Chains A and B, each alone.
Chain A
Amino acid sequence: MSKSEISTDVIIIGAGPVGLFAVFELGLLDLKCHLIDILDRPGGQCAELYPEKPIYDIPGFPVISGQELTDNLMKQIKPFNPEFHYNRMVEKVEKLKDGTFKVVTDEGEVFLAPVVVIAAGGGSFQPKRPPVENIEQYEGKSVQYSVRRIEEFRDQDVMIVGGGDSALDWVLNLQPIAKSLTLVHRRDVFRAATSSVNEMLALVDAGKIDFILGQIASLEGEGNELSAVNIKSKAGDIRNIPTTRLLPFFGLTMKLGPVADWGLELNDNLIAVDTEKFETSIKGMFAIGDINYYPGKLKLILSGFHEAALMSQAAKKIINPDERVIFQYTTSSTKLQKKLGVK
């Protein structure tokens, strides 16, 4: 057994609101969960797309923000001590001969469990790739969508594209070590923090960085080594800027990703499930929330909560087939209240 092999009851892929609530329902049935998410924090879309936006259709909450809902769910599931594995994408899920699922992440970790729950929403969040010809060939070397190792930018001709906090933060952080730094943005308004914008403008005034109003038109280079980027200005003229490192910051978008290769029955890129257990075409593998499909499906958080509750009953029967489960309410059951730590 390798060191990084983790055995548990349930592996939940996706730590959005529905994945989080599944921990609660499974926890009431004494099932232990590990969650894997590509983001660096819980909440999924609620955290990434609309943390500050009000949601009006969560039962019992006339209004709640994506972040508040996430925080509340984290508090609600705390008694069950779920374990989170962030910044990881599940690459492979396979069913072993004894029925156990083997889940492998892009970091090479292996998880083993009798039940897998896919609560991956719209898929995994991945950086938006500018639709420029041949950009793929430079990715990983000259084109990067996040800064993992600052040293890779030392003495390089760096170009940063975008007008938000990531773009501006990296302008300020990489300028001292880069050979040259060019910021490209489509307009002269920035969404970033005012202090960062002012610092950046001061660097432009001091001639330490260049700022160009425009967008990427094309790339020049050989192999995975970029040599220049052509920038199209608003007026339409093209400027050729020597560049060896390009950092485009256009936020994230969701891609179904490896889920498509796990042998599941799909319906228009959604995972087909039944409406009794929300089980996929593979026994022991469930799909809940925005990623599943069944007749009448509504992509609502509240639908995902319902699906989590029914899925949990079915998961329990797989994990403890001989145990008689009595249906109980948290308001009246002292047993459940003990699990929640309130009794």
Chain B
Amino acid sequence: MKIFVTDYDGKVHELEALEGWRVMEVIRDWGQDIKAECGGACACATCEIYVDEDWVSKLIPASKEEENMLDLVPNVEANSRLSCQILMSEELDGLKVTLAPNSRS
């Protein structure tokens, strides 16, 4: 399975993803710039991504913990999510996301 990630310059990258991996981990593992400073513990809000409109409804909605963390993002968009809280599964094969400027290291 794969995901499509648009970087800060608008370039799209097709990244191979593995079942059960966090989207943040896929992005980081392929060497894309994503701060993710707490390492996936939902504790820092520095792995924000914008989810492509077509995919928003296919994701499991943000948990209370993720919503709380999103409060630490100064400009949350309606399609903002923390990529460490999205786990890869067959249903998400082809997921399209864009790195949010706040995630840039």
Contacts and interface: CB of A to CB of B under 8 A. Distances in A.
B75 A164 contact: no
Interface string B21-36: 0000000000000010
Interface string A244-270: 000010110110000000000000010
Interface string A266-277: 000100000000
A17 interface: no
Contact of A216 (B44, B46, B74): B74
Contact of A131 (B38, B41, B72, B102): B102
A239 interface: no
B38 A191 contact: no
Contacts of A50: 38, 41, 43
A269 B41 CA distance: 22
Interface in B52-105: 67-68, 70-76, 101-102, 105
A137 interface: no
A99 interface: no
A218 to B, nearest CB: 11
Nearest to A55: B41
Interface residues of B, number: 21
B37 interface: yes
Contacts of A132: 74
A215 interface: yes
B5 interface: no
Chain A interface main SS type: loop
A53 interface: yes
B71 A49 contact: no
Contacts of A269: 105
A253 B44 CA distance: 8
A253 B67 CA distance: 18
Contacts of B70: 186
Given A49-B41, A50-B41, A253-B46, A162 B35 contact: no
Interface of A: 45, 49-50, 53, 122, 128-132, 161-164, 185-187, 189, 191, 215-216, 248, 250-251, 253-254, 269, 299
